[in-house]
Amino acid sequence: MDIPGVAVLIAVVIGAGLVGYLGARLVQVRSTSAKTPETPEDTLATARLEAQRLLTGAEEQGRARAEAFREREEAALEHRQLEASSLEARLAQREETLDQRATNLAQREQLLVSKEEGLETSRSDMERLREQARGELEALAGLDAKTAKDELLSKVEDEARRDAMVLVRDLEVKAREEADRRARRILGTAVQRLASEVVTETTVSVVGLPSDDMKGRIIGREGRNIRHLEAVTGVNLIVDDTPEAVSVSSFDPVRREVARLTLERLVADGRIHPASIEEAHAKAQDEVEQGVKDAGEWALVEVGVARVHPELVTLLGRLKYRTSYGQNVLKHLVESAHLASMLASELGADPAPVRRAALLHDIGKAVTHEVEGSHALIGAEIARRFDEDPAVVHGIEAHHNEVEPRTLLAVIVQAADSVSAARPGARRETLESYVQRLERLETIALEFKGVERVFAMQAGREVRVVVEPGQVGDLEASDLARRIARKLEDDLQYPGQIQVTVIREFRATDYAR
């Protein structure tokens, strides 16, 4: 608010106060006049004098207050003007400082631009010198950068492979030593506890005769009896110069056994003609079927397995007349079951399911060719059909690695099967298949680079590989042995294991003259 406005406000306030005071004095005068009688003219004159005196005092007082207020406002205005001047001075100084900073920044920016240009120039020079040096090095070395890089990468890769081979070899040596030690102890304990006979079967059965005259009866008039006997039994009868003996030949063991029993009955009876042949054949079939059931039950009792489906018992009994590499399959199953039980006990596993799986692991060999597939998968399907435990089924289907073994039971069944098949005298094979297997072993090993000669030894249980020392180093020899062993596992089927030995010999020869 400005000074004149404040003065008007003060005058109004003073006038209002003066009017109130005059009213009060008028009342007082009237009351006084009521006590002391005066004339109207005196009263009016007195009031006018009093009012004039009050107005004069009020004006002087208001004038004094207005003067004081004006002085204060002027002092405040002067103070504000001083502050504004000081602020303007500071703003001017700050603006000057900002201008100086802007100038400095512009100078720094210019300096940075010049330095950047210098760096770009230096970088270009360095790149040019690097390219020039690279060209000179390539010219001196006779190699370009890509070739040198490839050679360096190849060298680093070879060194890394060499280090990996060293590490793998050390780990394999340690693992093999520990595994061999524990495996020898467990298998040694199990095999020493096993008491099993050495049994081999052939495809020919020999029937003894009381005299050579019986051969004529077997042949009959114009060969009638022998032709009928071969037609009924489905086997070949070999009547040669062997004294007092006739051979029964057939690849079907059940059919050969029926024919043998039939011929023994005919020889014991002495009457040999088509009717007696058919009668003896029917009785022999019944006897073989009963023998199948008895063999299956004997195997269950021998191993100690109970609650087996009757159809499985019959299939198990049929294996009495089947062989694998000359080994009786039923006796192989019983033997494997005993081994598996002992291995499970040594390893702290439950022997009951392991024994059951080992006894049934070759049950697929009891079915004919009409069922397609490997005997491991067929046996697993048969066991599954007759509600065998899934763990037992897995042990059957995994014992030849058609299915990856996932349980300890499956691994124990594999080990028991291998031990039973690989023990000395358990199996045999024909000379032709034996020679073919050895040739196949040598051929597979010769396929690898750096192999000079290969020798299959110990009936194919060991392969010795002689390598060229210039192409295969000491570390590569271990890797080569491992790769040959993996190749043999993938391409061949064999009982037991095959030892692969890589021989590297370096000879230096010179002559003194």
d(CA 461, CA 104): 91
Which residue, chain included where needed, has tokens 């006739």?
246
d(CA 501, CA 120): 64
Mean local confidence (pLDDT), 20-49: 61
d(CA 191, CA 399): 19
Query: What pLDDT does 98 receive?
Result: 92
Tens digit of each residue's pLDDT (9 = 90 or more) over 124-183: 888 888 888 877 777 776 666 677 777 778 888 878 877 787 777 777 777 776 766 666
Query: What pLDDT does 91 receive?
Result: 92
What is the residue-averaged pLDDT of the chain?
79
How would residue 13 be classed by pLDDT, with cut points 50, 70 and 90?
A: low
Percent of the chain with pLDDT over 70: 81
CB 251 within 8 Å of CB 227 = no
Q: What are phi and psi of 454, to 5 degrees?
A: -135, 135
Q: What is the CA radius of gyration of the chain?
A: 61
Tens digit of each residue's pLDDT (9 = 90 or more) over 248-305: 887 777 788 888 888 888 888 888 888 888 888 888 888 888 888 888 888 888 888 8
Query: What pLDDT does 200 receive?
Result: 46
Tens digit of each residue's pLDDT (9 = 90 or more) over 403-443: 888 888 988 888 888 877 766 555 555 556 667 788 888 88
Tens digit of each residue's pLDDT (9 = 90 or more) over 69-122: 888 888 889 889 899 989 999 999 999 999 999 999 999 999 998 888 888 888
Tens digit of each residue's pLDDT (9 = 90 or more) over 55-65: 787 788 888 88
Q: Which two tokens stand for residue 37?
A: 């009688």
Query: What pLDDT does 188 receive?
Result: 55
DSSP 74-118: HHHHHHHHHHHHHHHHHHHHHHHHHHHHHHHHHHHHHHHHHHHHH
How would residue 9 be classed by pLDDT, with cut points 50, 70 and 90?
A: low
Query: What pLDDT does 167 receive?
Result: 77
Residue 420: CB atoms within 10 A of its CB come to 26
Topology, domain 304-428: Hypothetical protein af1432 (1.10.3210)
CB 333 within 8 Å of CB 357 = no
Query: What pLDDT does 371 receive?
Result: 66
DSSP 129-159: HHHHHHHHHHHHHT--HHHHHHHHHHHHHHH
Does 225 have pLDDT greater than 50? yes
Instruction: Between 475 and 38, name the one with better pLDDT.
Output: 475
User: Which residue from 171, 148, 168 is spatially nearest to 160, judged by alpha carbons?
Assistant: 168
Residues in contact with 26: Cβ distance below 8 Å, sequence separation at least 6, in sequence order: 47
Q: Match domain 194-279 to its CATH number in 3.30.1370.10, 3.40.720.10, 3.30.365.10, 3.40.47.10.
A: 3.30.1370.10
Q: Which CATH class is domain 431-504?
A: alpha beta
Does 187 have pLDDT greater than 80? no
Tens digit of each residue's pLDDT (9 = 90 or more) over 428-487: 555 566 677 888 888 898 989 889 889 888 777 888 999 988 888 888 888 888 889 888
